[in-house]
Structure 1
Amino acid sequence: MLHRVELGEGPPVVLLHGLFGSAQNWGSIQKRLAAHHRVLALDLPSHGASAHDKAMDYPRMAAAVAGAMAGPMAVLGHSMGGKVAMMLALGRPELVTRLVVADIAPVTYPPTLRGYVEAMRAVPMHPGLTRREADAALAGAVPEAGVRAFLLHNLRLGEGAPSWRLGLEEIAAAMPLLEGFPEVAARYDGPVLVLAGERSNYIRPAYHARIRALFPRVEFAIVPGTGHWVHAENPAGFLALVEPFLAAG
């Protein structure tokens, strides 16, 4: 069972976070959408407060999301959550009224994030560990302070030995699958909005043909002034594109 945060009333929307994230990442976006929608933000397997799962492939995660849905919903996913959302739409199209994919494509990406996993696994989990110490331990592999802060949201500190909230071992084992995307003999014929960050290279023009083959009704748009974290870097610009798309349904 996936942990959830639910707000609002109206046409339902499910939000799916990216790798190393949680439902909390949607904070202000969920509150804004909840003015007109029932918004369900989920912790994906091995993330947040959801149970750790040794089998973190996209079909299995999509099945877990389907099990958390009470019927057809609009689905919005960022990064890894966007791949889960695409897999759900392709495998269970009757559950997805419309689809928003934020800065990810159904392609295989290079293993650039494996270093983050190894750096997190290498943090010395001794009693009394401070957030400052953990930040310093990550700095060599993760030079961006904002990314380190994002990763450290998963660190539990307090009495006794600290621990990571997410399933680092499960994620480490699953990285080759998470970097890729399954070959599927299906397509989703519902409305799709694919959002790219203006400064991001996650959705390249070369990927558009692959996206259109799976999602023939796709529309592409760019969130101004953003890198990969489109909803966090420009919430207003992100919502200016997402809200009309959801309202059209």
Structure 2
Amino acid sequence: MKLHSKVKGKGQSLIILHGFLGMGDNWKTLANSYAKEGFEVHLVDQRNHGRSPHDDAFSYDLLAEDLKQYLKEKDIGSTSIIGHSMGGKTAMRFATLYPEQVDKLIIVDIAPKYYAPHHQQILEGLTKISEAKLTSRSDADELLSNYISEKPIRQFLLKNLYWKTQDELNLRLNLKALKQNIEEVGKGLPQNAKYSGEILFIKGGKSDYITTSDESDMGTHFDNFEIKSIENAGHWIHAEKREEFFGMSLKYLKS
């Protein structure tokens, strides 16, 4: 599968993998900052997200394979990777399958464990938007507010809107495939998956995605990991505490 991406800057390659229902563009501001520090930043849209192709099949093995193909296409031997949430799961799986292609690895607010499906409300709201043949972003926001009360989350999700025709908005997501594969999205790493390279986990101080009990589970997969927390940040740390996140991640990437 040929993934869509935007590339910023020149230098050492850095792949950024967005979370579930996101896209590479969510990381645009941070990508510009990394680019100024001497990185060639690849903002990749994973399958069924953003401008990448749609496909009924969806699993972390496939997402890791997509990334492998992408690196081959771009003639990248090894790279550093930042992965948020679902993108973090892809990055962890990729590292356990192709360790020789990973330099530095930063996993943002996700553990290698299984997570029960918890996006049903969001998916229901997005489905209503895709069926409604809307003609304005404010109408889409109003409709989505029946399902999601938090405005920042709605704004993040509504970045998926685009003009399908001159007067009809639609979503770039392959909702059908994502809903059918919702169990896959929550899956943990296979038990025997191991990676001995360095990993930095960055968690949100207010997020419950990584708990203290997850540390022993991490130890079964990874020999060499560190967990750092950013206070007063939820799951979208890179958006909520951008400067702090940038400082912490850059220090690690350059260490």
Q: Common fold, TM-score beyond 0.5?
A: yes
In 1, distance between residues paired with 2:168 and 2:243?
40
Identify the residue that residue 198 of structure 1 maps to in structure 2: 205
Instruction: Give 1:106 deviation, angstroms.
Output: 0.9
Q: Are the equivalent residues in 2 in contact too, given 1:78–1:102 (CA < 8 A)? A: yes
> 228-237 or 131-140: which moved more?
131-140
- Report the CA distance between 1:129 and its aligned residue: 2.6
Aligned to 1:121: 127
Equivalent position of 1:132 in the other structure: 138
Which one of 218, 222, 225 corresponds to residue 225 of structure 2?
218
- Say whether the 8 Å CA contact 2:127–2:175 is kept in structure 1: yes
Deviates more, 1:151-160 or 1:12-21: 151-160
Amino acid at match of 1:245: Y
The match for 2:185 is: 178
Q: Quote the residue 1:168 is aligned against.
A: 175
Moved beyond 2 Å, runs of 4+: 123-129
Structure 2 gap segments, 5+ residues each:
none
2:216 match = 209
Instruction: Output the CA distance in 1 between the equivalents of 2:243 and 2:32.
Output: 13
- Alpha-carbon offset, residue 127 of structure 1: 4.7
* Distance across 1 between alignment mates of 2:130 and 2:100: 46
Q: Which residue in the other structure is 1:58 paired with?
A: 60
Following the alignment from structure 1 to structure 2, what is the Cα–Cα distance between the partners of residues 38 and 193? 20
Instruction: Calculate the aligned-residue CA RMSD, in Å.
Output: 1.4
Q: TM-score, normalised by structure 2?
A: 0.93
TM-fit CA distance, 1:228? 0.5
TM superposition shift of 1:160? 4.2
Aligned length: 248
Given residue 30 of structure 1, which amino acid in structure 2 is its aligned partner? A
1:3 Cα deviation after fit: 0.5
Aligned partners of 2:130 and 2:115: how far apart in 1? 29
User: Gapped runs of 5+ residues in structure 1?
Assistant: none
Q: What is the CA distance between 1:140 and its match in structure 2?
A: 2.0
